[in-house]
Chains A and B, each alone.
Chain A
Amino acid sequence: MAKYLIYSIRALVAIGFIAPVYWVLVLATGYHGAAYSLPPVWIPLWHWGPLMYVITHTHWLRYLLNTVFITAATIFLVIITSALAGYALAEIPFMGNSMIFYLILGVMMLPQQALIVPQYVTIYHLHMLNSYTALILPFAANTSGIFLFRQFFKKLPSSYRDIARVEGVRTLTYIRRVALPLARPAVATVTLLTFIASWNQFQWPLIMLTNQKLQPIELALSHYLQTYESNWRVLGSAALLALLPIIIMFIFTQRYIIQAVAGGDSGAKE
C-alpha cells in the first residue's frame, strides 16, 4: 500500500516537472489563440504549420545552425585541450605540476558574473567582438574536462606508456593513437557536459555580439520574446527548435549525464 503511495507521489512530481516542457509543444502546435483560452488547452493539436513557417520563412534555422556550429567547435577544442592537459597532469612529472593543478582548479572558483566586465574589455582589445571566435575560444578549455581526463589517464597501465617509449613513439602520437581511444568514456562524458553548457550559452553571446547573423538561437529567442511577446505559436515553435535537439540527446544519454554530474563530485574529493 505504502509502496503504491510513493509510486503515485513520484509520478505526480515527475509529471509536474515535465509539464512546462510539454506546454511548449501544446502552444507551438495548438490553434491560433490557444494560448489565451480559459480553461487552458491540455492536448497538442499537432498543427505543424507555424513550425514549418519558422523553419522556411525566417532566420531561425540560421540561428539554430549557429548554435550547432558553436557547440560542435567548442566540444572539439575542449577534448583536445583537456586530453593534452589531463595527460600532462596524470603522467608527466614536470616541475611545478602541483602549482599548475591548483591554478586549474582555481578557474572554477572565479565568480563568472564578477568577471564579465573585464572579460568584455579583454575581448574588445583582442578585436574579437562580433565573431564566432569570441563565443568559442574562451570555452575551449575547462577545468572539469581536464580533471576527467587526468583521472582516466591515471588508471591506464603504465606499461603501455613504457612500451611506447621504448618503441620510440612520440608522446603526441601516443596520446592520439593509444591513450585517447582507450579513454572513450572520458571523451563521451566531456562531450555531453560541454554540449549542455555550450548549447545553453546565453549571457556571453548577449554581451559579445551585436551582429544578428552570428547569434545563437537562445539569443535570438530572447530578442524575439522582447519584441513580440504575444506571438505564442511562433515563439513556441522557435523554442521547440532550441529544445528538441538537447531533449533528444538527453533521452538517449540521460543515464550517463546523471552519472557524470553525480560522479563529478566524488571525483573532485579525491
Chain B
Amino acid sequence: MISEVSKNNHSKIVRITSAKLLSWKKDGTGRLKSTILGYGLMLPSLLIFSVFYYGPAVFLGYIAFFHWTIFSNTSTFVGWKNFEILFNQPIFWKALWNTIYYLIVLVPTTTLLALGLAMLLREAPRIRGGGLSRALIFLPHVTPVVATSIIWVWIFNPSFGLANVILHIFHLPALNWLESTRWALPSVMIYTLWHSIGLYTVLFLAGLATIPRSVLEAARVDGAKGFFALRKVIWPLISPITFFVVVLCSINTIQTFSQIYTLTGGPHGGAGGPAFSTTTDSLLIYQTAFMYLHFSLAAAMSLVLFTITLVIIIIQKILADRFVFYR
C-alpha cells in the first residue's frame, strides 16, 4: 500500500519534470526569456568593454581628425592635418625606426632563445630540480617592472654596475649602457629578454610536450639525431606554437612602455633618452599626450601604431598559412 503511493508520487514527479523541461526547450517565450537572461548576465562585462575599450577605440578616430584639446570643448575638423604635422616631425620617424629596430632584433632573439631554453628544460622530469629551474626562469615574468628595473639600473651603471664587471671578467671593453645612444636600446632589450623569456619558454615547453614520444623514438631509430632531428622533426611539429609565440612576442614588444620609461628615465634626463635613442612609438605617444598635451597629435600617432600592429599581425598570418604545419 505504502509502496504503491510512493510509486504513484514518483511517476507524477517524473511526468512534471519532463513536462517542465519540454516547455523550457520548445517554448518561444523560453527563448526570449533566455536571451534576456543571457544579456543580463553579460551586461557587467559588456558595459566595461564598451565604455573603456570599444568606446575609446571609436573615439580615437574622432580625436585624430580634429583639432581638439582636453581643456576646451571646442573641436574643429582638420582632416589629415594632424598626420601632416606628424610626418614632418623628425622625432616621429626616429621613434618609428626605434620601434622597428627594437622589434626586429628582439622578436627573433626571444623566439630562438626561448626555444633553446625549452629544449634544455625538456628532459626536466627525468633529472631532479628540473621543475625548479623552469620556475626560476619563469619568475622574472611575474615580477613588477619598476621594482626589478631599479636593480637593472644598478647593473647597467657604467662605473660600479655588475654588467661591466662581467665584461671585465671576459676582458671586454666596458660600455656606457643606458647612458650611450648606441647601447641604451640594446640594454632595454636585455632587460625585456630577461623579464619575458620565461613566458615564451613555458609556451614552447607546452608545445614540445604535445609531440608524441613514438614520433621521436621513430626518428631516432631512423637515425635522426641532434640538430637534424630538431630541424626536420621537432621544428615542423611545433610550428603552430612557434607562430603563436612570434605573434604574441611582436604584440608585447610593440607595446613595451614601462621598462623604457623606468630604465631611461633616471636623473640623467627624461625617459626616451639619451638623445631620443630609446624613444619608441608608445613612449612618444605618452610624452606627446601627457607631457606636451597635444592630444590630437598623440591620437594620430596612436592610429599609426594601431595600423602597424594590424599590418604585422596580417603579414604573420599570411606567412603562417604558408609555413606552419597544422596536424
Contact = CB atoms under 8 A, between A and B. Distances in A.
B251 interface: yes
B320 to A, nearest CB: 13
A197 to B, nearest CB: 10
Interface size class of A (residues with CB under 8 A): 35 or more
The binding surface of chain B is classed by DSSP as: helix
A221 B36 CA distance: 47
Nearest to B59: A118
Contacts of A53: none
A13 B131 CA distance: 13
The binding surface of chain A is classed by DSSP as: helix
B143 A27 contact: no
Given A88-B42, A226-B266, A261-B202, A117 B136 contact: no
Contact of B138 (A97, A222, A239, A254): A254
Contacts, number: 294
A165 B41 contact: no
A72 interface: no
A17 B136 contact: yes
B48 to A, nearest CB: 4
A119 B51 CA distance: 9
A204 to B, nearest CB: 10
Contacts of B53: 107, 110, 115, 119, 138
B148 to A, nearest CB: 6
B24 interface: yes
B19 to A, nearest CB: 10
A166 B21 contact: yes
Contact of A226 (B35, B37, B55, B267): B267
A35 B305 contact: no
Interface centre among B48, B155, B160 (most CB of A within 10 A): B48
Interface residues of B, number: 97
B302 A114 contact: yes
Contacts of A23: 151, 154-155, 162
8 contacts: A88-B41, A95-B31, A112-B255, A141-B44, A165-B21, A219-B146, A239-B151, A262-B205
Given A14-B132, A115-B60, A119-B52, 18 more contacts: A14-B137, A21-B148, A85-B42, A100-B42, A103-B46, A113-B255, A119-B56, A121-B56, A122-B55, A141-B45, A203-B257, A217-B147, A225-B262, A227-B267, A229-B153, A239-B151, A254-B138, A262-B205
Interface of A: 3, 6-7, 9-11, 13-15, 17-18, 20-21, 23-24, 27, 35-40, 80-82, 84-85, 87-89, 92-97, 100, 103-104, 106-107, 110-122, 124, 126, 137-138, 140-141, 146, 162, 165-166, 171, 196, 199-200, 202-203, 206-207, 217-219, 221-222, 225-227, 229, 232, 235-236, 239, 242-243, 246-247, 250, 254-255, 257-258, 261-263, 265-266
Interface of B: 16-17, 20-21, 24, 31, 34-39, 41-42, 44-46, 48-49, 51-57, 59-60, 63, 70, 117, 120-121, 123, 127, 129-140, 142-155, 160, 162, 165, 194, 198-199, 202-203, 205-206, 241, 244, 251, 254-255, 257-258, 261-262, 265-267, 281-282, 285-286, 289-290, 295, 298-299, 302-303, 305-306, 309
